[in-house]
Amino acid sequence: MNGGVPTFSVQVDASNPGQFFACCGLLEVAHRLSSTKPCSATVEGWFESDRFHVSCPSPEANDALTNLIQVAAGCPAAAIEVNGGDHKVAPVHLAQPLDLRLDWWLGTGNSATRFKTWAANATSLQMYKKWLEPLRGLLAEVSKDPSLVLTVSTLIQGSYGFDSSLGWNALDLGFSLNEHDNLRLLPLRPAVELFGAIGLERFRPLYDQDGDLVEYRTWRVPLTVVAAAPIVNGALTYPFSIRFRSKFVKRGSFKGLDNAARIGEDS
């Protein structure tokens, strides 16, 4: 352990599934960047109140978060062709220095699961790459206060649906956004979308298919990605981990995760 001294911290609402998974993604990227260095240091992350902390000792500690965002936003991505699989939901490979395969939206037989939330006319690669340029465009604003990276938004059409701040539905609004082209652009948060997509690969939540419920756990002590990942879905219980429960909801013709309720604490 690194003594619980954070290199950087970000503001987070852990009851927002998108922000939670984005924190997991930040930890994942920090871990992978550290492992590429000759003398890799242990990278740890933990939740504390409304902050997510990451400890990753490096010579660039003062700009660690900005550098991490730049690397993620500049990392090339490509689809992985799967024999007999639907190219629209093909796994996505992130090149070096991340070297990560994303396929959390696939189940047995490479068929799409409930977590494949985006529109049928978009491919998995398009969904991932659409956040790269918006995130690069926000770097100047983020660099003023990197801790606010999960709150900075821009107008974009289409979302992974895990950011519960998008908790609208047609009944609430009185109409469907799908019927109004000029209203389809929503204030989406590129860092939540991109890092959330990265975080979901290792940090899989518990999913109750019958009830469409999703559960995940935060942790309040510094842990590596290997130690923290099984805590998220309850495969490993750990003192002071807090349990949250969300559910899939309809958003017009699409779906996403609702704001999560805190349902307990492991002891």
* CB distance 232 to 203 below 8 Å: yes
Return d(Cα 13, Cα 71) in angstroms, integer: 24
Q: What is the pLDDT of residue 174?
A: 41
The DSSP line for 98-158 is T-EEE-TTB-GGG-B-TT--S-TTS-HHHHHHTTHHHHHHTHHHHHH-GGGTTT--EEES-
Task: Strands of the chain (E only): list them.
Answer: 8-11, 44-48, 51-55, 77-79, 92-94, 100-102, 154-156, 186-188, 206-208, 213-218, 242-251, 254-257, 261-265
Q: Which regions of the chain are under pLDDT 70?
A: 1-3, 37-40, 58-62, 84-85, 167-186, 252-253, 267
pLDDT in tens, 14-37: 999 999 999 999 999 999 998 776
For the record, the structure tokens of 74 come out as 């500049």
User: In sequence order, what are the residues at sequence separation of 6 or more whose Cβ sits closer than 8 angstroms to the Cβ of residue 89?
Assistant: 105, 106, 110, 111, 112, 116, 123, 124
Q: What is the pLDDT of residue 5?
A: 86
Q: What is the pLDDT of residue 232?
A: 96
Q: What is the pLDDT of residue 142?
A: 84
